[in-house]
Structure formats: structure tokens, C-alpha cells
Chains A and B, each alone.
Chain A
Amino acid sequence: MTESASGKKSLSMTLLALGTVLLIAALYFDFTKTYSGLGAMRGAFLVCGALLILAGVYYIPTVLHHRAIINVIFLFPLLFTFAVTVIIPMFVGFFYSFTDWNGVSYTRMLGFENYANMFKEPAFIWSLLLTVLFVIINMIMVNLVAFLLALLCTTKLKGVGFFRAAYFLPNLIGGIVLGYIWQFIFSNVLTKILNSPHSALAQTKTAFIAIIVVYIWQYAGYIMLIYINGLATVPKDVLEAAQIDGASDIMTLFKIKIPMIAATFTICTFLTLTSAFKQFDVNLALTNGVGTVRKFMGSRLSNGTQMIALNIYNTAFARDQYGYAQAKAILFFIILACVSLLQVRISNAKEVEM
């Protein structure tokens, strides 16, 4: 026992020492800016050093603190990636939204200028309002369509498994690919079938409806699955009792099924709300935001079908206004957070009532 403990101790010490040396070497190259020769290997040094130190810590011969050490080692990988990809960018981004950041550096602090400017930009206000409209329409339509599909798929239909899978299928394919397929359908197939020279995508209004159609087509099957799952939780004996009491199917639906799956409605409205707000891929591939608006807030717009996510993307990558785009993104986040919290509140209150 003592022998293995001392063996462990020397192993741990060796690993820790080696790791520290490698780490210090890597940091030395970093601060002296030696990026060539051995300095080019600083990444490998750093990673190996960190791994050796972790291994060294793992072998520290302690019974008392072993559990705590394991906790740290187990949490480290995910927390580290999470911090670098989400937490740090979140704070950095918040800061940059107050500057004239161009993606690499910034020259001055602007205070709230970015935030004030976006409310003076008609194109952005248009995108924002369009997104809100899109979200409202889709929250209603997707849930309605999905619920009807779910009712259809819970009847004693032959081949119901096939229908479920078929309705769900569009959800498997990424928005970019779907967007191009539907672009083809709107501009080539539908014009042929309807024998009309104009594609639905050529006009702002119809193009917006087209995005909604594609979105419902893609998303309803998924929401349907959740409703089917909810409907399956309604106890059979309650339904039987209703039937014996002579309740019609419609009565059963409105008085028993819908109130009993109120929680499912909450989940589904939440999902459609957040996902419709963040809509990007289909928007990009189907219309790329193009569309003429003759007069809005006194100016002519060319981004008639551009949703807010795409607007932020273009502000940064097409117009190179990173700080401004970041301010828009922060506003987007605040709106999304408020609306989702509000939705959950309202739904929960409704659920209790029911």
C-alpha cells in the first residue's frame, strides 16, 4: 500500500513537472512571439502540457480529495469548450456592440449610437416587423396543421406508420437544400402548372407567403410527432367514459383531448416561436431576402423578404459593419428572450386554468 502510494506520488510529480515545463515553454514562445522553429510547435506543447498536468492531478495519491479532482477533470472539457464558444463571445460581443468594430479591431466607443441607428434604418425595421409577422403566422399555422396531422395519424388508419414517417421526412433535410428545391418548384414547376409567366418568388408578398409555405411544410411534421406523443398520454378509460356518456367526437376533442394535452401545446408553441424567430437557411436559399418594397418609412427597400437573422448576417458580411450587426444581434436576443419568457408564463397560467 505505501509502496504503491509512493509510486503514484512520484508518477504524479513527474507528470506535473513535465506538463508545467511544456506549458511554460509554450507560453514563452507566445510572449516572445517566436512563431517559427520550435515556436511553431507551441500548440502541441500547450495541449500536451495541459493533458500531462491533468494526468498528474489525477494520480495525486489522496483519498480525501480524489472525488473533487475527478469532478474537476470531468467538468473541464465541456466547460472549456462552452466558455470559449458561448460565454466569452457573449461578453465580448456585448462590448463590441457599443463600438465601431470592423471584425478585427475597433477605433472608438460609440455608446448607444449603434442601438439608436438601427431604429432609424427602414430596412432593419422592415426585417424586424416581417419577422414578427412571420412568427405570429407560423405559430398559428404550424400548430394548427401539425395538430390536424396528429389527429389524422392517431385515427385507426391503415399504414399510419408510413404516413407519420412521410409527414416527418422534410424535417430531416437541411434548410439550404430545401430552399433550393423549393426555389425550383416556385420558379419552374408552379409557373408551368398554373401556366403563369411570373414566379411567386418575384414579388415580395407572394415570396413571403412562399417562405411561410416552405416553413410549414418543413416543420409541421416534427410538431405533429410531439402532438401524437401528447395525444397518446390521454387515458383510454376517460375517452371510453366520454363515449359511453354519448359525447360526440368533436365534444371529446374540445372538452377532453385538448385540455388534457395543454402541456404539449406549451412545448409546441415554444418550439415554433423560437425556431421561426431564428429562421435563416430557407430564407437565404429561397429568396436571399430580395424583394422590392415601394415605400416604407419614406424610402424604397430592396430587402422585402429579409428576416432579422439574415439582416444581421448581411450587415456583418456584406456591409462589413460588425459592431452595428452585433448591436442588432443583441437586440434580437433581448426580444427573443422576452417573448419566450412571456410565452411560457402565459401558457403556464392557461394550463393551470384548464
Chain B
Amino acid sequence: MKMKTSRAVILTVIAVLLAAYILFPFALVVLNSFKTQADIVQDPISAAGASFKQFASNLNAVINNKNFVFWHAFGSSALVTIISLVLLAVFGGMSAWVICRNKTRWATVIYMTFISSMIIPFQVVMLPLIATFREVGKFVGLSMNGSLSGLIFAYCGFGGAMTVFILTGFIKGIPYELEEAAAIDGCSPEGTFFRIIFPLLKPTIVTVTILNGMWIWNDYLLPSILLGQSNPNKTLPVAVQAFVGSFVKSWDMILTAALLAMIPMIVIFLLAQKHIMDGMVQGAIK
């Protein structure tokens, strides 16, 4: 019995130390956002010189910085993420349903194309994507490069494969009799999908949305090349990069900006912790 308790104590100590190590960078960011550059350089791990007044002044300087424009960047990121997620869920569900319920060669070809495209690293399509978007944009007369709608379009294209893959796996498990019954009762195919299948997809849609959401919100490369560093509508990660570039080693500014960029994700995590952790696991296993 005594052995058991001492073992539990050791394990707890290890767990606490690990947690301290993993959370240490976050604590440093918070602590140093309350200090001036001089105080940070003097001693980054002490609380000397930290005050709410300094925090307010740092915050003010960062939010109003013309390279960062926090609220604008936050708005762009939120807009792009939310619209992309909704479109991916709806379009992905529609495509997955068609692919799953048609045992034709075409459906198989489309499905296999989606699956095999998942291994393509972004770098391979990065450069020709800009060119393709420029040509398509010129042709249809809508700017695809440099606009948020172009970015959303790209996210639908890149996120489609994984969304379809996960949703197809789930739809396979829904009994086909359900749809037959609906058809006998006079329900049209589109009605069957939107009234019966789509509501059933809800738990999987949550998983897909979390996976896509984490990736889209934090993505740097795609918005940085499509929008560019100086675009007024740049997303949060691009704004952080542009901001840091303009403030070499001004850690008071950089760390306050990092804090601002982290807060939305951490708040969402605290609110939906279980869903996010489950979703990340479910997505990986499939």
C-alpha cells in the first residue's frame, strides 16, 4: 500500500513538472506582455516592472499598429475560417453522399482522386496555384489572388479531400433502408439528403469542422502567398509575421502580439476542450 502511494506521488510530481515545462512559454508570454522592452531584456523571468498600465500601453501600441491592425486581421481570419468551414461541411456532405450512394465507376474514380490527393504536399501546388488563380481570375473577371473570397475558394479545394474522406466513412454506416423509406414516402433525393442524412452527420461534421478549423485558423503559407504581407485584409498569422518583421527584437511588442494571436484559440479550447481533443483523435484514426 505504501509503495502504491509513493509511486502515485512520484508520478504526480513528474506530471506537474512536465506540465510546468510545457506551459512555461505561455506563462512567459503573459508575464512579459506586462513589461517594457528594457525590463524584458533586463530579466525576462522576473515580474519586476510588470504593471497593468504597461500592459494597457503595450496592448494599445500593438492593436493600433499599422502593420498588425489586430481587429481587422482577427476579423479576416474569423470570416475566412467560418465561411470555409460552413461551405466545407455542406459541400463535403453533399459530395460524400453522392460518392457513397453511387456504385458507379465515376464515383470510385472521384473518390480515389480525392484520397490520393491527400498526400500531395502544399509546396507542389503552391507556385502554379498563384498562376492558375491569376488566369482564372482574369478570365472570370473576379480577383482570386489578394481577395478573401479567393482564399475561401482555395480552402474549399484543399480541405475537400479530407472532409469527403471522413464523411464518406460515416455515411457508409447509415442504413440505406432509411433513404428507401423516404423515397417511398415521396421524398426527393435532395430532400432525403438535407432532411435525413445531413442531420445524422452532425457528430462527424463536428469532427471535420474541428480538424479543418484548427488548420485554417493557424495556416500561414496559403494566405501569405495568396494575400501577400501588405494586404489590408491579411489574416492573423500573416499579420503576426508582417508585424514582427517591422519590429526587430522589440519583444514587448512581439510578445503582446503573440498573446493577442493566441487568445482566441485558447478561449475556444477552454470552451470546447473535450470536443476538440476527441475530434483531433477521430480525424487521425480515420
Contact = CB atoms under 8 A, between A and B. Distances in A.
Interface in B221-242: 221, 225, 237, 240-241
A172 B269 contact: yes
Interface of A: 26, 29-30, 35, 39-44, 46-47, 66-67, 70-71, 74-75, 77-79, 81-90, 92-93, 96, 103-104, 149, 152-153, 155-158, 162-178, 180-182, 184-185, 188-189, 192-193, 217, 221-222, 225-226, 228-229, 267, 271, 274, 277-278, 280-281, 284-285, 309, 312-313, 316-317, 322, 325-326, 329-330, 332-333, 336-337, 340
5 contacts: A74-B95, A78-B164, A88-B132, A89-B125, A173-B265
Name the prevailing secondary structure of the B interface residues: helix
A40 B143 CA distance: 11
A330 to B, nearest CB: 6
Contacts of A312: 123, 126
A329 to B, nearest CB: 5
A74 B94 contact: yes
Contacts of A79: 95, 110
Nearest to B241: A176
B160 interface: yes
B57 interface: no
B51 interface: no
A104 B127 CA distance: 10
In this complex, which of B41, B133, B139, B193 has the most chain A Cβ atoms within 10 angstroms of its Cβ? B139
B127 A74 contact: no
Contacts of B154: 81, 85
A86 B25 contact: no
Q: Contact residue range for chain B?
A: 35 or more
A188 B44 contact: yes
Contacts of A340: 119
Contacts of B25: 170, 178, 181-182, 185, 217
A71 B102 contact: yes
Considering the complex of A and B, which 10 residue pairs feature the smallest CB-CB distances, nearest first?
A85-B157, A174-B218, A43-B141, A93-B128, A89-B128, A43-B142, A81-B157, A74-B94, A42-B141, A89-B125
Contacts of B19: 162-163, 166-167
Contact of A89 (B28, B98, B129, B244): B129
Contact of A189 (B14, B23, B28, B281): B28
Interface stretch (B60-68, B169-177, B199-207, B254-262): B254-262
Contact of A84 (B87, B153, B219): B153
A334 to B, nearest CB: 10
Interface in B147-181: 153-154, 156-158, 160-161, 164
B255 A184 contact: yes
Contacts of B188: 66, 70
Given A173-B262, A181-B29, A313-B221, 7 more contacts: A77-B91, A85-B154, A163-B18, A169-B266, A177-B262, A189-B45, A281-B221
A166 B99 CA distance: 39
Contacts of B262: 173, 177
In this complex, which of A47, A67, A162 has the most chain B Cβ atoms within 10 angstroms of its Cβ? A67
Name the prevailing secondary structure of the A interface residues: helix
B140 A180 contact: no
B153 A172 contact: no
B220 A332 contact: no
A220 B108 CA distance: 36
Contacts of B284: 226, 267, 271
Contact of A103 (B23, B99, B131): B131
Given A96-B127, A189-B28, A86 B158 contact: yes
Contacts of B113: 87
Nearest to B42: A192
B23 A166 contact: yes
Contacts of B14: 152
B204 to A, nearest CB: 16
B160 A81 contact: yes
B56 interface: no
A199 B117 CA distance: 41
B18 A167 contact: yes
In this complex, which of B29, B130, B277 has the most chain A Cβ atoms within 10 angstroms of its Cβ? B277
A326 B142 CA distance: 26
A181 B255 contact: yes
B26 interface: yes
A101 to B, nearest CB: 8
Contacts of B254: 180, 184
Interface string B11-42: 11011001100110110110010000000110
Contacts of B269: 165, 169, 172
A40 B138 CA distance: 11
Contacts of B125: 85-86, 89-90, 93
A120 to B, nearest CB: 21
B238 to A, nearest CB: 8
B251 interface: yes
B41 A188 contact: yes
B220 A166 contact: no
B8 A169 contact: no
B136 interface: yes
A185 B40 CA distance: 11
Given A181-B28, A217-B22, A103 B15 contact: no
A167 B19 CA distance: 6
Contacts of B41: 188
Nearest to A214: B25
A340 B115 CA distance: 14
B265 A172 contact: yes
